[in-house]
Structure 1
Amino acid sequence: MSDDIMARVGAAMRLDRAEARDALAALWDETEDPLPRCAIAHHAADRQDDAEAELAWDERALEAAAGLPAEQRDSFLPSLHLNLGDVHRRLHHVEAAREHLAAARANAHHLAQDEYGAMIRGGIENLARKLAGTTDA
């Protein structure tokens, strides 16, 4: 079942934004398995047109990741926290953004020394630069 759902997630990613949102929301309702749920929510967040909806899906992705075995979860955490930090920053939730930045940094050692790992580490440092000097006020 999980392989079928993951294949359908891939197919949904080839749809336009609105169709992808609908397809991913339907897939979310079809499974309780944390791995596809994490992937579904992660991709659904990227297809949202407003930051509040994106935040809700990013929070679902992090919640789903909690149900994964440690080694799977650990590999997702830097990216999930990076996404949450960025959306909180865009929503002017500076303290929450900083908390997720710290969590992304704390989990970055789980990233492989590959192109994906470099991309996430770069995103973490980019978020840090964007948050430098910002305040909650």
Structure 2
Amino acid sequence: MAERQDQAAPDAVLTRIGQVVMLHHGGDREEARRRFLDLWTEIGEHGDPLHRCTLAHYLADTQDDPGDELAWDLRALTAAEELTDERRAGQAGNEGAVAARALYPSLHLNLAADYVKLGRSDAARSHVRRARGAAAALGDDTYGDGVRAAISRMELRLGEGGGSGEGSWGPPRQRS
């Protein structure tokens, strides 16, 4: 019975994160930020890395200040790296590490966008290259296609793909 509860707990947290994502996408950014921060307090700095990665990844979108957005995106990347490090050490389940690898392209893409906002084009270029390198982990589905297209747009914007870089881009987020 305890094992079943342990398995249900991560699903419950990810479901709660997904509910707040829907609130944010519905236009209530302030309330979404408040609820995300409440969840962050509940999960804690040392909570489950998949939860922290997912939550920080979405929480970054609710920030008004580009520096704060960068800080949350860096927290998401750090948590994703913990997931893959744990898998290598044999301490975590395969599902979390697979989920983290699928998030890397979007995580790096968002970091590139953060650095563009902060006028740090070299750092942005570095992260868009890392996003492109990690894109092999994406599935052949709508999400994967969207992230790959957003990487291409960011490459163009930064002059990495030989284009003018004009136009909007907008990295899609992993569905929780």
TM-score normalised over the length of structure 2: 0.71
Secondary structure in structure 1 of the residue aligned to 2:73? helix
Q: Does 1:18 align with 2:18?
A: no
Q: Does 1:4 align with 2:12?
A: yes
Corresponding residue of 1:30: 42
Offset of 1:33 from its aligned partner?
0.5
Q: Which amino acid aligns with 2:118?
A: L
TM-score normalised over the length of structure 1: 0.90
Q: Does 1:45 align with 2:80?
A: no
Q: Tell me the distance in 1 between the aligned counterparts of 2:19 and 2:141.
A: 25
CA deviation profile, 1:5-41 (whole Å, cap 9, x unmatched): 2122122221511111111112112220011111111
Corresponding residue of 2:148: 121
Q: Which amino acid aligns with 2:58?
A: H
Secondary structure in structure 1 of the residue aligned to 2:123? helix
Q: Which amino acid aligns with 1:47?
A: T
Secondary structure in structure 2 of the residue aligned to 1:66? helix
- Aligned-pair RMSD on alpha carbons? 1.7
Q: Tell me the distance in 1 between the aligned counterparts of 2:125 and 2:154.
A: 9
Q: Tell me the distance in 1 between the aligned counterparts of 2:106 and 2:50.
A: 15
Q: Which amino acid aligns with 1:90?
A: K
Q: Which amino acid aligns with 1:18?
A: E
Structure 1 residues without counterparts, runs of 5 or longer: none
Structure 2 residues without counterparts, runs of 5 or longer: 1-8, 88-96, 165-176
Report which stretch shifted further, 8-17 or 105-114.
8-17
Share of identical aligned residues, percent? 43
Q: Which amino acid aligns with 2:114?
A: V
Q: Tell me the distance in 1 between the aligned counterparts of 2:13 and 2:98.
A: 21
Count of residues in Structure 1 that have an aligned counterpart in Structure 2: 134
Q: Tell me the distance in 2 between the aligned counterparts of 1:94 and 1:77.
A: 20
Corresponding residue of 2:114: 87
Secondary structure in structure 1 of the residue aligned to 2:100? helix
Larger Rg: 2
Corresponding residue of 2:139: 112
